[in-house]
Structure 1
């Protein structure tokens, strides 16, 4: 474990990923006064990075959070490039902000470029820490780097688009005031958490309720609220989504919001039972998971509200959006079943929960039903087609004791 992390204070920050989270992180940190470089991989970079050296990135939006932390403006980055070597070379902090299925190609390019002393932060982790460490072993990389991930992105954010045109503009709906993070191995956790103080994209967390250390990187997987919120609400609310702007006339199809229009008491009950299965998994394995009151699920933002508005002195949500009243608080989407709420959160998040249940003898019937129904909609069997399994994470052969030794101490049993 490294000691004082102040050496990161004046070092460049590399952001890998030119999507909404990557662009928002890059703009936010540049507006905070840091040297920031942004990378995206070809061929996506032709679209995602086009003209950013001339236009900069405009960051604005409501940025709702309990402490009213806000940072807006047009940020001109120090380097925008599809050459990862140029972006990563000499950087102290590396922010990975890409969807889960992009982790492996990004990591394969990153591993040979890693330098001693660098700290990698993955938003959202989604088991990326496990994949990166596996690839480092396979590719023979022995650089002394700290690797950790977070339960969520620092923001609810969207890029402005019209058709296929991507504007250099990100609108932040909310900023997290607390996030759950963990390092792999956990022997690096103090240094990882300390390094986050030099990462301005989570300043709303640092100066809010603060980051919370999870109990291993599996904890951050259980703390990722995307599967538990997105999947039941999308699968069980599919008729409203597909009829929006059709049978429910007078609406723009793109105005549909899973939160505002899809959630209802019965779906929220399924979300709660889904999370109870996650808690049982965490307990059986011996890792951590967040705690949510039953009542917190029955709101138009579900348990997400806690991430940016926090709890009161009695442990209840500071803000509740009642299910029996309309709300426009939620982000729009999804507009079809071909959306990451299903195409990522089912074959990644739900599938790993299922596989952990099989490995450690914990039944997951609600989670399994979501995988089955989403697969039926997509005319595929996600149990069979998803590459996300315990072997892909490098932990399929481990007993519970061996797994905990790896997660906590980095002792890898072959």
Structure 2
């Protein structure tokens, strides 16, 4: 399965690593103003992670983009990991470009799922979910390099009901 991760900070990079290591083909995409973060990954073709559970490892990233609208086309799953102040911008972008049947997971809490549901106003049949927190704390330590530490208690996920996926 191909997955697009939107964002290029520590949360998005750590989600990209975990998905890649789990066997998914990951595209990392962010808005043009964050091109330097995306280009650091594009130049290396991977994200390096240092953490207690994986040690020091590198995860391949299949593609990168500074055009999220194009990157999400035809993708089954879109993971959004951006700060709460970016939720409205990404919700508007997604509302314009999502296709029926796509799934969007907002990682890191903050109301992104509600922002997207509001922007869509029921216009498209998509699956929307959000986590209560990032799965773990992470920090960008250099170009395409992050460190992470596990959080206790796990991460919860909740989906919003829709006509095609009632809860």
TM-score (norm 2): 0.88
- 1:153 corresponding residue in structure 2: 134
* Pick aligned residue for 2:63 from 79, 88, 91: 79
2:127–2:159 Cα contact (<8 Å) kept: yes
- 1:101 corresponding residue in structure 2: 85
- 1:274 corresponding residue in structure 2: none
1:79–1:87 Cα contact (<8 Å) kept: no
1:144 alignment partner, SS class: coil
Who wins on radius of gyration, i.e. which is larger?
1
CA separation of 1:37/1:176 partners in 2, compared to 1, >3 Å: closer, same or farther? Answer: farther
* Pick aligned residue for 1:26 from 16, 19, 35: 16
* Pick aligned residue for 1:15 from 2, 5, 22: 5
- 2:40 corresponding residue in structure 1: 51
How many matched pairs?
A: 165
2:61 alignment partner, SS class: coil
> Counterparts in 2 of 1:175-324, with a 5 A limit?
178-185=154-161, 188=165
CA separation of 1:23/1:111 partners in 2, compared to 1, >3 Å: closer, same or farther? Answer: same
What do residues 338-376 of structure 1 show as CA deviations (whole Å, max 9, x unaligned)? xxxxxxxxxxxxxxxxxxxxxxxxxxxxxxxxxxxxxxx
* Pick aligned residue for 1:136 from 115, 120, 130: 120
CA separation of 1:93/1:157 partners in 2, compared to 1, >3 Å: closer, same or farther? Answer: same
Deviation at 1:186, TM superposition (A): 7.7
Unaligned runs of 5+ in 1: 1-10, 64-69, 161-165, 191-414
- 1:41 corresponding residue in structure 2: 31
Deviation at 1:41, TM superposition (A): 0.8
* Pick aligned residue for 2:149 from 165, 169, 173: 173
**TM superposition outliers: structure 1 runs of 4+ over 3 Å:** 186-190
1:153 alignment partner, SS class: coil
1:123–1:150 Cα contact (<8 Å) kept: yes
2:51–2:149 Cα contact (<8 Å) kept: yes
Over the aligned positions, Cα root-mean-square deviation in angstroms equals 2.1
Distance 2:55 2:5 in 1: 18
Structure with bigger helix share is: 1
Distance 2:162 2:150 in 1: 29
Distance 2:83 2:160 in 1: 20
Deviation at 1:26, TM superposition (A): 0.8
1:183–1:189 Cα contact (<8 Å) kept: no
Distance 1:189 1:26 in 2: 28
TM-score (norm 1): 0.37
Distance 1:120 1:176 in 2: 25
Distance 1:27 1:80 in 2: 13
Distance 1:108 1:36 in 2: 22
Distance 1:33 1:71 in 2: 18
Distance 1:94 1:33 in 2: 16
Distance 2:51 2:102 in 1: 32
Unaligned runs of 5+ in 2: none
Distance 1:176 1:59 in 2: 19
Which structure would you say has the larger RCO, counting Cα contacts within 8 Å and 6 or more residues apart?
Answer: 2
CA separation of 1:76/1:54 partners in 2, compared to 1, >3 Å: closer, same or farther? Answer: farther
